[in-house]
Amino acid sequence: MLKKIIRSVQEKQARWKELQEQLLRNRGSTTPLTEQELMEILNAAIPLLLSEQSLIEFNAPVVICGDIHGQFEDLLRLYDSVGWPPEKRYLFLGDYVDRGPQSVEVMSLQILLKLQYPNDYFLLRGNHEHAVINRSYGFYNECTSRYSVNLWKRFQNLFVCLPLSALVSKKILCMHGGISSELKNFDQIRGIQRPTSVSPSGILCDLLWSDPEENADGFKKSPRGIGCVFGENVTIEFCDNMGIDLIVRAHQVFDQGYQFFAERRCVTVFSAPNYCNIFNNAAAALIIDKNLNCKIVQIMPRNKKKK
């Protein structure tokens, strides 16, 4: 029986490796994977994601990356620059889909890497991993024009299973959006049941949608119309009360690919260079070593060199 189980695991791992090689064979071009193959990896990933807690907890070292937004070739450049799994442990903060041209490829590779390296490759949910959002910002059209509405629906089945936050070495709290005025302890995140939809307010909403704001005093309504903005004072207070050193989040584009806030107690990391072919921004990844020393690595737009 044990030999059969081992053989089954080995066969599955070989299958995921084969599909990854197939996906990367014509690097940067549209995926050669069929809808049946994509369904296969989605069906395998859903129970794996649900086996994780809503608050993932693991120790550094880790590379933390922000929004990718369908920029498949730039995701490959990031791996080429920083190191491919499992050489490096990765945590992605969400927003894999929409706006960029190859959300299917981005998500397919992310899932295949998760299936192969489940303890060294972590995926959080972003605000675009929500049917209401990615129905309107590109992912729906990409799925239905290249495959079918059924594939888009199956991706939604996976998105509602993604973990919502991560705690690295008990000292670094990570999420896509930001903190919440309602969040007082980690058990509140641990207690969020998945699969889950996103309510227009509350802790889950804020984890996906909120933003830091230099001019804010405390927590205020967000100009996005959902989530909140949070000021430096409550950011520092939150870190002290929760016993953490740093908040790492994504959700906003900055020219250098990153931005510190609140006396460096919060950092935004954005990992899609030249976002939407408009911003000409650098991308960034945050590398954290086992001693929790942090280093920023930038990925420049393909038409721009690092100064």
Catalytic residue numbers, as ranges: 128
Beta carbons within 8 Å of 119's beta carbon, 6+ residues apart: 58
For residue 198, with 0-12 CB atoms within 10 Å meaning exposed, 13-18 middle and 19 or more buried, which class applies? buried
Q: How many CB atoms lie within 10 A of CB 263?
A: 10
For the chain, where are the alpha helices, taking DSSP H only?
Answer: 2-25, 35-50, 72-82, 103-116, 131-134, 139-146, 149-159, 187-190, 203-209, 232-242
Question: 294-299 and 283-288: which strand pairing?
Answer: antiparallel
CB of 208 within 8 A of CB of 67?
no
CB of 292 within 8 A of CB of 265?
no
Peptide bond into 61 cis (omega under 30): yes
Cα separation, 231 vs 211, whole angstroms? 9
